[in-house]
Amino acid sequence: MTETLNPVERTALLTAALRAAETLREDRLYQDPYAAQLVGETGPELLAEIRRATFPAQGVRTVPSTPDYNAIRTRFFDDHLRNAVRDGAIGQVVLAPAGMDSRAYRLDWPEHIRYFEVDRPDVLAFKAERLSGVAPRVDHRTVAADLTAPDWEERLTAAGYRPDEPSIWLLEGLLYYIPEADGRRMLKRVAAHCAPGSLVAADIVNSAALTLPHMRPLLDVFEGWGCPWVFGSDTPEELFDELGFDVRAVQPGDPEAHFGRWPDPVPDRSVPGVRRVFFVHGHRR
């Protein structure tokens, strides 16, 4: 079934391979017992290619460490989601996209949560096959949809999502693949389907990460796969503000997103021309 996934869909297998590798580390930031069964045939090959581009046998690393980035991102958003649903005000979780994420299966969730996983049909079918027999630990619903197509809101509502009730949305590992105009439209549609007080979280790179010559080894891998990084923002707070959200942006390596793992300096935001990635989190106004 792996072969039926297109390039951007296959990045979900890369993410699973990263989580499987993290789970084997003694100093792991989280444990994902399902990741290894979600990597498919190509996940390990994709990860090997990323490792070759990131850690050259000769020479120094010039691109961010994807393994460390992914470990920090997963742990950061694990903690964020758990904290967000703790006090009972938020009753709906939407992973858009879900990919091979296994939080519905590996984290504890309050009983009142309705949990939606949105992704393309082939991705969700592959995941269901790989996880058959594993019970989610939450009221779990899948929504087979393309987030740039006109009908995902209908499909989400048909699965039981209530736009008039507070929700938390996580857009993890998505925005860099979506052209800016589509990305903005999609975020606007998310905002339109969130009750005030709903929460949003996402990761997004800056524009230098898409253009700096020393980023080429990593950018070339994604381009070579057919899913280039095409969208970034230097001012994610403003981007989300324009679309209806009040957010903060932190960078891996900042105190609240370090976890003892980020290997690079984090220059002040005023320093131009530095590759960056942001974890954005905030609420719908």
Closest CB to ligand SAM among residues 122, 264: 122
Q: Binder to ligand SAM among 47, 72, 147, 218 (CB under 6 A)?
A: 147
x/- binding map, residues 216-255, to ligand SAM, per CB under 6 A? ----------------------------------------
Closest CB to ligand SAM among residues 60, 151: 151
- End-to-end CA separation in angstroms for the chain: 42
Closest CB to ligand SAM among residues 227, 274: 227
CA distances from 224 to 18, 44, 53, 179 (A): 19, 17, 12, 17
Stretches 23-31, 58-66, 99-107, 213-221: which one binds ligand SAM (CB under 6 A)? 99-107
Cβ atoms of 84 and 168 closer than 8 Å: yes
Stretches 37-45, 115-123, 231-239, 257-265: which one binds ligand SAM (CB under 6 A)? 115-123
Q: Does 32 bind ligand SAM (CB under 6 A)?
A: no
Cβ atoms of 63 and 222 closer than 8 Å: no
Angle CA 248–250–251, to nearest 5: 155
Beta bridge partners of 168: 93, 199
Could you give the CA distance from residue 41 to residue 258 in angstroms, rounded to a whole number? 32
Stretches 4-12, 28-36, 79-87, 253-261: which one binds ligand SAM (CB under 6 A)? 4-12
Residue 3 Ramachandran class (φ > 0 left, ψ -120 to 50 alpha, else beta): alpha
Q: Does 177 bind ligand SAM (CB under 6 A)?
A: yes
Q: Which residues bind ligand SAM (CB under 6 A)?
A: 8-9, 11-12, 15, 97-101, 119-120, 123, 146-148, 172-174, 177
